[in-house]
Every structure is written in C-alpha cells, then in structure tokens.
A and B are shown apart, each in its own frame.
Chain A
Amino acid sequence: MQIKQKTPLTFRHLFAKIILFCLCILIIDSCTKDTIVNNSKKAEEYQADFLIKYYDHICKTIKNTAGFFPPQAARAYGYIGIASYESVMHGIEGATSLQGQLNGFALFKLPQPIGEQKYNWAIASNAATARMIHYMFEKKITSADSKKTDSLETVFHEQLSNGEDQDVITRSQIFGQNIADVVYNYSKTDGGHESYLDPFQLPYSVPSDPYCWVPTGAVTTPLSPRWGNNRPFLISNIQKAQPPKHMQFSTDPNSEFYKEAMEVYVTVTNNNSEQIEIAKYWADDPFATCTPAGHTFNILTQILKEERATLSKSSLAFAKMCIAENDAFISCWKGKYDYVLIRPVSYIQKYIDPTFKTVIGTPPFPAYTSGHSCEMGAGSRILSALFTNGSGDYQFTDYSQLQYGFFARSYSNFEKMAEECANSRLYGGIHYPIDNSKGLQVGRAIGDNVNKEIKWPSFTK
C-alpha cells in the first residue's frame, strides 16, 4: 500500500483556495458596478474643456442668430443640455436617464449602449452636442457659426480620439449622434419648434382693459404670447410654480397698485450710480448679449472652469440648468399672458408723471412676473445645489460681463446674486417690486423642482 505524500496535496489545496478567493473578489467587484457600462472609462475620468467651449459658442450663436429672444434662447439651451447629458449618462455612476422623468420624453426611444461594448463618453458627448447645436439653430444659423460648430466638432473629435480604438470611436460618435436625433424629435413636439422663425407668434390681440399691457416702443405686439402653452420638462413647473394674482389694478393714489408704481417712480428718480450700474449690468444690454439666460450659463461655465469640473459634473450641471431655464421661461411667460399686466412706464406716464423715463428700455411684453427674476431664481437654486451644501454661500466674481464693457462683480451667495438681479429690474424702472419678488419665488420653486423631482446621481465628481 502506497502512502500518499502530504506536500503536493497541500500545494493543490492552497492553489485552489487562491483561485476561489480571486473569483470571490471578481464577483464582489462586478456586483458594485451597477449602472456603468463595463469596459468603458467613467465620465468623471474625462475633462470637460470641450463641452464648456461649446457653451461659449452657443452664447455667440444666440447673439448672431435672428429670432433668439430670451424664451427661444432658453429653449435651445434646454434641449442641447439634455442631449449632452444623455450621451454620457451611462458613464456616470448612479445616473438615471431623463427619458422616463421628463414630460413626454418616454414616447421617444433613446438608443442604448450595446452590451459590453466599450464607449468613449467624451466622443459621444462631442457628437451629440454639436449635432444639437445645428438642430436648434438650423434655419437661421449664420454660415460662420455653422462652420464654427463643425470645426469645433472636428478638432474636439480628433483630440478625444487620441489613443482610442477605431471601433470605439465610431461606436461612440454614432451613439452621440443618435441621442441628438431622438432629443431633437422630442423637441419638435413641445410647441416651440423653430419658434425663432416667428418669435412674436402673430396674430395676437392684446386685451384693451386699462390694466393691460400697451406698447412701450415701436414694437406694437408683445413677444411670444403663446409661449406659456409650451410643454415644460416638468409638469410641476407649471402646476406648482405659478404666481398668485397680482394686486387689483387701480389708479387710486391710496391703492396698493398705485403704491407699487410709485415705488418704481421714486426708485428711478433717486437711483444712485451703483444702482444704475446694476440695472445695466443685469439688463444683458441692448443689441450685444446672449440674453439673461445666456448670462446665467456664462456664470455656470465660469464656475465649472474654475472648479476644473469633469465631464460627469459638467454634463450634470448643464442638464440641470438647461431644464430649469427652459421651464422658468415657460412658467414665467404663462403668467405674463394670463395677467397681461401693464408695464410701470406706461402706468406712471399716464397716471403719475408724463415725463417719466426708465433707465433702460422696457422689453416688449407684459410686466408680471419678471423674466430675469424667474430665470435667475431658478438658476440660483441650481447653482446652490451644485456648488454648496444648499446654503448658497459661494465666493465668486462674475467676470462674464467684462467683454461687454462692465466691471466684474463679486458675490458671496447665489441667492443674494439672484436678489440683486431681480432688484436691477426695479432700478431700471421696468418692473414693479411685486414682479420681481414673485418672479424670484416662481424661479426658486422651479429650481427646487428640478433638483428634487428628477433622480440625479447623488454624488458626481
């Protein structure tokens, strides 16, 4: 009878134990990667420089393209942001598609990454963003801006493809383009499709009651009167974020309405130089800027640059802001045409002082509520959620207006910044105080809805 040798047995046993241990580690590791597409680098491993440069380009394109007033600009940003986010979402841990979360989006089937195939999310984002810019400005984009979009896409594509396999490059690019196609089809059904071709939505008859808006300049019909009927990204942004009815119209000097108008009159008459500067700074001045929404995006891009935010964080930030800004303008415009309230300049010149002059031009649409206040109220909530613990405390200097001949302005809190923006409309003489306070309230509610009602990744580097 042969006696079994002990040594080889122990070695085999030990080897089997090591293999078993490695298998366990592999299984545990694979279980922790839930939503991320395997084999692909995470979105947080890419820089966002290219995406940020696209937002600078969008601002320029808005300035150069006819028909892009504030609501139209906010809408363009809206859908571009969604396409960019969807194109990288599978590379963000814990991220959920917006498809089942945004109003009406579920009807449009987004492409999904193929099985275990590898993707480069930056290439996908580049392709999606460039294509969406073409789509959103399609019929009026200048030749120069169209070429610039193409050249940016080509340059970024080459940079981002460096060292990547050809099949990954092609797959990622097609994936991004397909995302843009679906988001564009979704955009066509919201009521604002190609609205830049007819931003005044004629014909429209303004009611002739004494409380109603009357022209304040050469433009005799108000801007985008049916914008409030557009489909918002979140229904709650219309249902739960509408201002209450403003105070009763009256010409009685003891009435609340008259007092509101008097406050405008007294403020404008006694404005100091700082208040005039603030009025002009936030006016996003005549003829040369990319609208108030563009100013908010300029602030966001500046902060993302300073924070050296990754593709993951930047895509998330833009998506949130894009949804909030689009809905802020829909909600605000709904209120404007539900109430069609007369502008302070018209009221004051008729009932208080015919020689009254505002600091800046009054835009051609009703007063209640202030568009600036709505959009910056929403924007401030998004900024606060992105960069603070919710307090809004954040030290920064907005130098985005330097290019238009303004000194940079410093802030220590996003909410305070929004209040300054809202007050600027009073200093400018173009809004009653209630337009600004209720506008901020509406905007903040919208920002909160976007932060809370959509399932965003809980932590994004």
Chain B
Amino acid sequence: MMRYISLTFLVLLNACSNEPDIDAIAMEFSDIECRAITLKDKRFDLSEKLRAVEKDSIIKKYEIDSLNDVINVVKAESLAMADSIKARMEFLFEHHLRRQSDRIVFLEKLKEIITKRKCHGS
C-alpha cells in the first residue's frame, strides 16, 4: 500500500515539475507574433494605398505596378510568417500547452507582452 502511495506522490511531483513556464513561452512567442503584427499593418496600409492610387488608375498605372510589386513581397513574407507561427503554435500546444487552461493563460500573457512592446504600426 505504502508503495502505491509513494508512487502516486512521485508521479504528482513529476507532473508539478513539468508545469510549463508560460511566461517564458509567451515572451519567446511574442517575437514572431510581433513581426506578424507589423506585417499585418503593412498589408492594410498597402491595401489603403492601393485604393487611393486606383482612383487615378489611368494616370498612375506605373504606381499601381510598383505598389503591386511591394504587395507581392509583403504577401510572400506574410505567408511564410503565417506558416512559422502556425507550426510553432502547434508544437507548443502539442508539447507544452496541452491543457486548454494553459493555452488561455498563454494567449492572455502574449497579448499583455505585445501590448507593452507596442509592436503595432509600420
């Protein structure tokens, strides 16, 4: 009987020591998320510029072309970034943040860090 109690205690102890360090995970994740936010802002800015330029499409066709070149670069960067974030997030959720409650805390911490870092804007 004592053997089972000791084993249970050890398992519980082990589980406790494997608690994810959500602060550290969120801090690390905030680097790539920050870049994704910057890219998002760039995409919306470019979309806005495109709309403005399109109004004078005959006169400024060259501007639309050059803007589209920039858009293609930002789009490619955004898609690559989305892949990285998705892969990283899936890894974290599978290995470190298995519990739903941990994921919620992680997302809240991430928001907190990003807000402090002010990585919005382009």
A residues bordering B, Cβ < 8 Å? 56, 60, 63-64, 217-218, 280, 285-288, 306, 360-361, 397, 399, 402-408, 410
Binding site of A, secondary structure by majority: helix, strand, loop or mixed?
loop
The tally of CB-CB contacts under 8 A between chains A and B is 78
A36 to B48, CA, bound (A): 56
A403 close to B85 (CB less than 8 A): yes
**B2-10, B14-22, B39-47 - the one binding chain A:** B39-47
Task: Decide yes or no: A286 and B89 within 8 Å by CB, A63-B79, A306-B100, A405-B41 being known contacts.
Answer: no
Task: Decide yes or no: A361 and B51 within 8 Å by CB, A287-B71, A397-B103 being known contacts.
Answer: yes
A286 to B68, CA, bound (A): 12
Other A-B pairs, 5, CB within 8 Å; known A64-B79, A402-B85, A408-B107: A217-B50, A287-B43, A397-B104, A405-B36, A410-B104
A423 to B10, CA, bound (A): 53
CB distance from A125 to the nearest CB of B (A): 21
State which size class the interface on B falls in: 35 or more
Q: Which residues of B contact A403 (CB under 8 A)?
A: 36, 81-83, 85-86, 89
Q: Which residues of A contact B44 (CB under 8 A)?
A: 280, 285-286, 360
B47 close to A361 (CB less than 8 A): yes
Q: Which residues of B contact A56 (CB under 8 A)?
A: 86
A405 close to B47 (CB less than 8 A): no
B78 close to A288 (CB less than 8 A): yes
A285 close to B40 (CB less than 8 A): yes
A405 close to B33 (CB less than 8 A): yes
Residue of A nearest to B93 (CB): A305
A408 to B82, CA, bound (A): 14
B103 close to A218 (CB less than 8 A): no
Q: Which residues of B contact A361 (CB under 8 A)?
A: 47-48, 50-51
Indicate whether B64 reaches chain A with its CB closer than 8 angstroms.
Answer: yes
B111 close to A407 (CB less than 8 A): yes
A407 close to B114 (CB less than 8 A): yes
CB distance from B63 to the nearest CB of A (A): 11
| Contact with A217, one of B38, B51, B75, B89 (Cβ below 8 angstroms) | B51
Tell me the residues in window 43-86 of chain B with beta carbons closer than 8 Å to chain A beta carbons: 43-44, 46-48, 50-51, 54, 57, 64, 71, 74-75, 78-79, 81-83, 85-86
CB distance from A271 to the nearest CB of B (A): 14
A56 to B82, CA, bound (A): 12
30 A–B pairs (Cβ distance < 8 Å), ordered by A: A63-B79, A64-B79, A217-B51, A218-B50, A218-B54, A280-B40, A280-B44, A285-B43, A286-B46, A286-B47, A287-B43, A287-B46, A287-B47, A288-B78, A288-B79, A288-B82, A360-B47, A361-B48, A361-B50, A361-B51, A397-B104, A399-B107, A402-B89, A402-B107, A404-B82, A405-B33, A405-B40, A405-B41, A406-B40, A408-B111
CB distance from A290 to the nearest CB of B (A): 10
Indicate whether B37 reaches chain A with its CB closer than 8 angstroms.
Answer: yes
| Proximity string of chain B (12-38) to chain A, C-beta cutoff 8 Å, 1 when within and 0 when not | 000000000000000000000100111
Task: Decide yes or no: A404 and B78 within 8 Å by CB, A285-B40, A288-B43 being known contacts.
Answer: yes
Q: Which residues of A contact B103 (CB under 8 A)?
A: 397, 399
Task: Decide yes or no: A218 and B47 within 8 Å by CB, A397-B107, A405-B36, A405-B37 being known contacts.
Answer: no
Q: Which residues of B contact A410 (CB under 8 A)?
A: 104
CB distance from A121 to the nearest CB of B (A): 25
Residue of A nearest to B74 (CB): A287
A56 to B71, CA, bound (A): 24
| Candidate in B71, B82, B83 with the most chain A CB atoms within 10 angstroms | B82
A405 to B119, CA, bound (A): 10
Q: Which residues of B contact A399 (CB under 8 A)?
A: 89, 103, 107
